[in-house]
Amino acid sequence: MRDVVVDIDVTEAAGLGERLHTRVTVTLPDAVSTPPVVCFGFPGGGYSRGYFGFDVPDAHADETRGGQAAWHARRGWIFVACDHLCVGESAMPTDPSQTTFENMTAVNAATVEAVTALLNRGELHPSFPAVQGLTRIGIGQSMGGCLLVVQQGQHATFDGVGILGYSAIHTVLPMPPGTPAFQMDYLPRGTRLAFDASQARSQEVTQAANAAVDDTPPTAADLPITTWGFHMDDEPQDMVIADMVDYPLRSRTHPLPPWASTTMPPCAASMLSPGSVAPEAATITAPVLVAVGERDVVPDPRFEPKAYQRSPDVTVVIVPNMSHMHNFASTRVQLWERLHSWAEGIARQR
């Protein structure tokens, strides 16, 4: 098993008049499963492709070393963890306010096609032979799930899609019992938001600036009340603090955790508006896996299949002892196993 980092030229797909790229990490298995499966993972807002590859030091650490990407690769999958445009180590457009659901997903679709072509031709790594007949699975967590719905509805990229911790009806951040509901401004899709250019600074510059301002390590006392909706109490507290203090841009978190991004696309602000992806959800014809934690941003998981009106196969999974950030949970393997068996079924039936 090996990781290969690849930059994909997405200039044409982005259509923004400047040279742009996305960066992906491809985890290659020692032996490819039969039939072969490639899974593309898209992270949520405030997270990078590293969300699919970090270790959690808990009782399941040995079984889950290398994170979700390595777990699937040990079972024969090719796993491609992707940074969206404006995220992680992918390019930041000169004017990020020009990013939309449409060009973000066109870029992701182009990334998938380019990586697939490299795999088909045997050009991804000298030691990895060409693979034909790949079943392509897309998974997206939170913001990644939102964009994946749009991508699949508009481009039909995948043979099956896993929408993880995102509602195609209305995504709502859960709050602790007895506290007021989290209030969001509902923005129509396509609303162009002003962009603070300081957000486009590199991670290194951002962290150096933060260190100069405040070098006091954050503690549990600094955690926001929204932490309840992201993490369960049995998760390692130091990781929860690193994840949630000053989320999503984590201005006091240095060094930056491997799963995090200090930047995100401005269009993400409309992803929590009711019905923001309804047209695309209704046009998806591939199998859909809706997977959530017992405490998540999907108010009624059992109602989600109604959004996918043309899909003949919608599966709903609710994982116990899991909150919104699934890959931190002590029960993360339950989710990965369910996803793996679901996708293997799709591959066998093609």
Report the half-sphere exposure of 180 (CA within 13 A, side-chain side).
Answer: 3
Instruction: Name the average pLDDT for the chain.
Output: 93
Share of the chain above pLDDT 90, in %: 83
- Other C-beta atoms closer than 10 Å to the C-beta of 127 total 8
Look up residue 135 and give its two tokens.
């079943």
Residues 104 and 147: beta-carbon distance below 8 Å: yes
pLDDT tens column, 230-251: 999 999 999 999 999 989 887 7
Tell me: pLDDT of 125 over 50. Answer: yes
Tell me: pLDDT of 107 over 60. Answer: yes
Tell me: pLDDT of 209 over 80. Answer: no
- Burial code (b: 16+ CB inside 10 Å, e: under 16) for 25-64 equals bbbbbeebbeebbbbbbbbbbbbbbbbbbbebeeeeeeeb
In order, the DSSP letters of 297-325 are S-S-GGGGGGG-TT-S-EEEEEETT--SS
pLDDT tens column, 13-72: 999 999 999 999 999 999 999 999 999 999 999 999 999 999 999 999 999 999 999 999
Residue 120, domain extent:
2-202+256-349
- Of the pLDDT bands very low, low, confident and very high (cuts 50, 70, 90), residue 213 is low
* Domain presence at residue 216: no
pLDDT tens column, 250-261: 776 778 999 999
In angstroms, rounded to a whole number, what is the distance separating the alpha carbons of residues 60 and 63? 5
* Domain presence at residue 300: yes
**What is the pTM assigned to this prediction?**
0.93
pLDDT tens column, 270-299: 898 999 999 999 999 999 999 999 999 999
User: Which pLDDT score is estimated for 250?
Assistant: 77
Q: 142's torsion region: left (phi>0), alpha (psi -120 to 50) or beta?
A: left
| CATH at 264 | 3.40.50.1820
* Domain presence at residue 345: yes
Report the half-sphere exposure of 167 (CA within 13 A, side-chain side).
Answer: 22
Residues 84 and 42: beta-carbon distance below 8 Å: yes
* Domain presence at residue 277: yes
* Domain presence at residue 232: no
Look up residue 289 and give its two tokens.
């896996």
Residues 319 and 290: beta-carbon distance below 8 Å: no
* Domain presence at residue 245: no
Total domains in the chain come to 1
Angle, CA 94 vertex, CA 90 and CA 96 arms, to 5°: 70
- Of the pLDDT bands very low, low, confident and very high (cuts 50, 70, 90), residue 204 is very low
* Domain presence at residue 306: yes
